[in-house]
Amino acid sequence: MRPRLRLGVRTRLLLAVVGAVALALAIGVAAFNLLLGQRLSDSAIALAKAQAVAEISSLKVVDGKLVVPEGPDEGAALGSPVWVFAGTTAIETPRIAHSITAAAASLAGGPERALRVNETMRLYALPVLQQGKRVGTVVAGVPLHPYDETETIALVGSVALAVALLAAVTVLTRWILGRALLPVSLMTKDAAAWSDHDLDRRFGLGEPYDELTRLACTLDALLERLAASLRHEQRFTAELSHELRTPLAKIAAETELALRRERSGDDYRASLEAVRRSAEQMTRTVEALVSAARQDAGLTRTTSDARDGVRAAVASVQDGADAGGVRITLALPDAPVRVAIEDGLVERIIQPLLDNAVRYGRSSVSVEVLRNGATVLVSVVDDGDGVGADERERIFEPGVRGSAAAAEPGGAGLGLALAQRLARSAGGEISAEHDGAGGRFVVRLPVA
């Protein structure tokens, strides 16, 4: 199979414009020459008729017979012959080709009419009447050579003019299309370069008002979606690595300790239990992040009991709290508290808050769940130094750590950012509050 010839947009537009103009010019040239030919033919007929009328005015009728006055035939001298017939008998015949004379004789006795002979002569027959009675016929001829020459010149000139116009239109259209489509080429080139290197660049042509600005707006939206997708991928990778780092470190530590020296069966069992808990925490982390991605995409809408998620979050940090001598107090309502989010996501939202509370609290952490109208409030309070007023918003930004964490190396500053994102994906919010008695974080989740 022969490959299809693929033409660019500019070439296709150029061909379309040139084709349309060529067709219009061809129709115009044809119509002009047809109209001119008809007008020249009418002009020749009118001239022949006028000559026949002039000849009739010079004729005389004597005793019922048509008489031609003596004198030179001025029309014949000028190349415009005139025949006079009495009945079908010629009484005046110019010196001209026999074929033309025969054609003129064929008009004698007939009605008023015109006849073209041999493409060289236009004849016009006009009856001669005397008191309503026909006494003869005058046939006047007009040579067509000047008219044909005029028609030929007009045809050649109009075709030449049409070709010149078509060439000018082709050049002008090519230039206009090149100028008009140049921004499109530049935008396409820039968009391709930005998509590979800099997704934050935009065309920024403002409110769309024509095809090019609408194209720029569409490309800006496309680049924004690409950037959002890339940022989401990078954020998901960072969050996953951040959330899996702690359980992986616990697994590695327990494994290294078990391999370093011989231990009793109970010690091995305790180590395996610790590894199992860390593996379960990793599983819950992955499932929570996947659930958050599904919720962001609008693929799932489920409910859960907020108490279950909070209990799981407390259980996940209990070992660290025991090791640090921090007591966790949990206050839960007796009745279920349904929220419009999976319990795994509730756990992942609360856990970073509890991690921080256990790490920076001095001796106690309290967790309380209560319902306030259409909102479920989960408060996490510790007796540490709390969060400064200038840090309450910034600590939820990815990569930002509070002043209390500055002395502790190794943190990525992603825990609170992840918790905030998960809460907002469910239509909730996390806020850091300061009441002068330590750190206080309040999670607001919508009631199912």
| Mean pLDDT, residues 72-78 taken together | 48
| Mean pLDDT, residues 63-69 taken together | 79
Please give the CATH superfamily to which domain 301-448 belongs: Histidine kinase-like ATPase, C-terminal domain (3.30.565.10)
pLDDT of 249 reads: 77
Q: Are strands 429-434 and 364-372 parallel, antiparallel or unpaired?
A: unpaired
Q: Alpha-carbon dihedral of residues 103, 90, 111, 151, nearest 10 degrees?
A: 40
Structure confidence by residue, pLDDT tens digits, 172-203: 999 998 888 777 777 777 767 765 566 667 76
The CATH code of domain 9-151 reads 3.30.450
Give the closest residue to 346 by CA, choosing from 366, 373, 376, 319. 376
pLDDT of 126 reads: 94
The Cα diameter of the chain in Å comes to 163
pLDDT of 196 reads: 56
This prediction's pTM: 0.49
Mention every residue, 6+ apart, whose C-beta is less than 8 A from residue 30.
none
Q: Tell me the C-alpha distance between 16 and 170, whole Å.
A: 11
Q: Tell me the C-alpha distance between 331 and 378, whole Å.
A: 10
Percent of the chain, pLDDT > 90?
34
pLDDT at 82 over 80: yes
- In whole angstroms, how far apart are CA 382 and each of 330, 359, 362, 437? 12, 10, 8, 8
Percent of the chain, pLDDT > 70?
81
pLDDT at 76 over 50: no
Structure confidence by residue, pLDDT tens digits, 265-319: 777 777 787 787 777 767 766 766 666 666 665 555 678 899 999 999 999 889 8
pLDDT at 236 over 70: no
Structure confidence by residue, pLDDT tens digits, 120-135: 899 999 999 888 888 8
Spans of all domains in the chain: 9-151, 199-300, 301-448
pLDDT of 295 reads: 60
Let me know: does 406 contact 354? Beta carbons within 8 Å. no
At 10, the pLDDT band (50, 70, 90 cuts) reads confident
| Cα 376 from chain centre | 45
pLDDT of 410 reads: 43
Which carries the bigger pLDDT value, residue 90 or residue 404?
90
Q: Which CATH fold topology does 199-300 show? A: Helix Hairpins (1.10.287)
Structure confidence by residue, pLDDT tens digits, 393-434: 888 776 566 555 544 544 445 678 878 888 888 889 999 887
- Write out the H or E segment, with its range, that includes residue 320: helix 306-324
